[in-house]
């Protein structure tokens, strides 16, 4: 009886966070520096817990252990075992995030016994003038990069991208990046919490300490080549699945709905995640119905033969493996 599952958000206080997650999405926060809401997570120490229906209180990992391929899908279970392979977040950047990058699978496995961290961003809201840092503004080599870090001139080498609602970005492992102040976004990523921070604007935490940098580890992980491969152009055609990202780690479609939507899932052999980025809807599978509003996420089991989305207006990101 794996009805559509919702989970308690796992709130993360961050130096750069704000209050939009609470104000706009009614997330449970008692600070003015809430940076992240982890919506669906199998990360050790941060495993999501069901908050709706008869399975309330069950963790995601308990469900995977008990249900296996019924929840995940056979192909997902075969490839990833019982580790949930994606991590879903909403992020509110009141200040600029640190300049950072993520290692690929091979390096992350060797150093951290972890997956790498390929990710994508969907911009839900952006203050006027807000931007992202994505990649370099020219191809550089290790020596030029290292000198810029030592001389505090790294920002001069980086590429700035202005953003607005609906803009979508794909961040390969190795690509230097940062979310800019005033950006609220949905993030879909591999299950990993490995980040190499290379510059943090010389900020200090609440105790007055500079945050740790990972200068040396980052050198073997950085892609120094300038590549214009990050901005995703996608159709926003109403009432159909619009492809956004199709990579080895997740596949994402955009649903711009103005009426009820039905989909056959019988051949998918993967769980399906729905992130509501505007409006609201009712999500129904073989075993139940759940309400979904902007800023919420629902997990649909792989064994679901079909899905019905009842709405008059909603924008939804659909994620599968």
Residues tagged active-site: 197
| CB neighbour list of residue 243: distance below 8 Å, 6 or more residues apart | 234, 235, 253, 254
- DSSP state letter for 98: P
Both structure tokens of 265: 């899932």
- As a whole number of angstroms, the distance between CA 242 and CA 235 comes to 6
Q: How far is CA 161 from CA 27, 78, 146, 236, in A?
A: 28, 38, 23, 21
Residue spans of alpha helices (H) in the chain: 20-25, 60-67, 69-72, 74-80, 105-112, 142-150, 215-219
For 127-205, strand residue ranges (E) read 131-136, 158-162, 168-171, 177-179, 183-190, 196-199
Which two tokens mark 177? 């990046």
Give the whole-angstrom CA distance, residue 47 versus residue 148: 39
Asked whether 174 and 221 are in contact (CB, 8 A), the reply is yes
């Amino acid at each position: 009886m794996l009805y559509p599952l919702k989970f308690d958000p796992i709130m993360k206080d961050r130096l750069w966070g704000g209050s939009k997650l609470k104000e706009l999405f009614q997330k449970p926060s008692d600070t003015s520096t809430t940076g992240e809401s982890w919506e669906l997570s199998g990360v050790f120490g941060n495993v999501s817990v069901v908050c709706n229906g008869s399975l309330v209180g069950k963790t995601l990992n308990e469900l995977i252990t008990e249900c296996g391929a019924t929840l995940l899908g056979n192909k997902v279970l075969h490839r990833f075992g019982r580790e949930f392979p994606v991590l879903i977040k909403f992020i509110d950047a009141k200040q600029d995030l640190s300049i950072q990058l993520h290692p690929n699978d091979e390096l992350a496995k060797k150093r951290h016994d972890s997956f790498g961290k390929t990710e994508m961003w969907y911009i839900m809201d952006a203050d006027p003038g807000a931007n992202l840092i994505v990649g370099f503004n020219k191809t550089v080599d290790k020596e030029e990069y290292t000198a810029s870090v030592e001389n505090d001139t790294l920002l001069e080498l980086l590429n700035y991208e202005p953003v607005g609602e609906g803009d979508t970005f794909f961040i390969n492992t190795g690509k230097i990046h940062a979310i800019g102040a005033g950006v609220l976004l949905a993030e879909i990523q591999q299950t990993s919490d490995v980040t190499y921070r290379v510059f943090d604007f010389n900020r200090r935490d609440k105790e007055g300490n500079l945050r740790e940098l990972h200068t040396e580890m980052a050198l073997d992980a950085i892609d120094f080549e300038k590549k214009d491969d990050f901005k995703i152009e996608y159709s926003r055609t109403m009432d159909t699945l619009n492809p956004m990202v199709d990579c080895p780690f997740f596949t994402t479609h955009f649903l711009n709905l103005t009426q009820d939507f039905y989909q056959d899932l019988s051949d998918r052999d993967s769980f399906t995640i729905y992130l509501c980025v505007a409006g609201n809807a009712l999500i129904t599978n073989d075993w139940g119905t759940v309400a979904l509003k902007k800023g919420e996420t629902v997990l649909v089991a792989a064994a679901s033969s079909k899905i019905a989305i009842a709405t008059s207006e909603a924008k939804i990101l659909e994620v599968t493996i």
